[in-house]
Amino acid sequence: MDLGLLFGFFGTWIIIVWALLSGGSIIAYWDVASSILVFGASVTMMFFAFPMENVKSIFAILRQLLFHKSQAPGNLITDMVYYAEIARRDGILSLENVIKDIEDTFVVHGIQMAIDGTDPELIESVLTNELENIIDRHDQGKALFDTLAKYAPAYGMIGTLVGLVIMLRNMSDPSMIGPGMAVAILTTLYGALIANSFALPMADRLARRSAEEILNKTIILKGVMAIQSGDNPRIVEKKLMTFLPPSLRKSRDDEERQAA
């Protein structure tokens, strides 16, 4: 489970609730009509903007964000170098027994094609297409939250305008101006909370997770191509190390020197 995501979400909302309570009763910030307009319209708008299958996938996306464990690029490079060592020492066909214990289907797919003697250009084309499909799926998931972040504040502003119209129609009663203005402003508050305390952070989290997975898949693709071409394991490592930032490259070099 991603504890950082849980800490960020609940920590943010605890601070928000604390700020609301500091101004008095939290009930003062609740209005049924305003909440239905902003929350309800934001949800129905999602079905308007996207096919139902895409909207329903939000729950699967949230589950993956909570429970997905991404592999560190450095560890992935170590694995690819290990596969290269086996292929170099015992022949590429020996990897047939190794892939049985590999959980990442992208790695298995790539190595299996190399074992089968598939043309290098075809291997790269197939893996590249698969990577592009992964990017498209990630973009679609992020687009859901980006869209929610875009429209929720807009409906909050619409609710504010509706509230102002209602308030102005009751200008003859001064006692209604204050409460009417408060209700009008609440819809803007609701829209801002949805966008900035949920939708936008989720979209940013998805973008980061997508970037991490794309990097890992690219390392795998390049590693498979190097193994298929019969590169020396040291060369494979040097090629893949270029995907790491300089600080991580240095730490890996230090570990190798200490091991030697």
- Both tokens assigned to 24: 């008095």
Q: For position 1, what pLDDT does the model report?
A: 66
Q: Could you write out the DSSP letters of every residue in 68-86?
A: --PPPHHHHHHHHHHHHHH
Q: What is the pLDDT of residues 113-158, one digit of tens each?
A: 999 999 999 999 999 999 999 999 899 999 999 999 999 999 999 9
Q: For position 249, what pLDDT does the model report?
A: 66
- Both tokens assigned to 10: 């609940």
pLDDT values of the chain reduced to their tens digit, one per residue, 260 residues: 678 888 888 999 999 889 888 877 888 888 888 899 999 999 999 999 999 988 888 888 888 887 777 788 888 999 999 999 999 999 999 999 888 888 889 999 999 999 999 999 999 999 999 999 999 989 999 999 999 999 999 999 998 988 888 788 877 777 777 767 777 889 999 999 999 999 999 999 999 999 999 999 999 999 999 999 988 988 999 889 988 887 766 655 555 555 55
Q: For position 167, what pLDDT does the model report?
A: 81
Burial of 196 (0-12, 13-18, 19+ CB in 10 A): middle
CA distance 141 to 137: 6
Q: For position 30, what pLDDT does the model report?
A: 87
Q: Which residues contact 224 (CB under 8 A, 6 or more apart)?
A: 80, 107, 110, 111, 113, 114, 123, 127
Q: For position 256, what pLDDT does the model report?
A: 57
Q: For position 153, what pLDDT does the model report?
A: 94
Scan for tokens 């084309």, then name that residue: 125
Q: Which residues contact 76 (CB under 8 A, 6 or more apart)?
A: 216, 219, 220
- Provide the 3-class DSSP secondary structure of residue 27: helix
Q: What is the DSSP letter of 100?
A: G
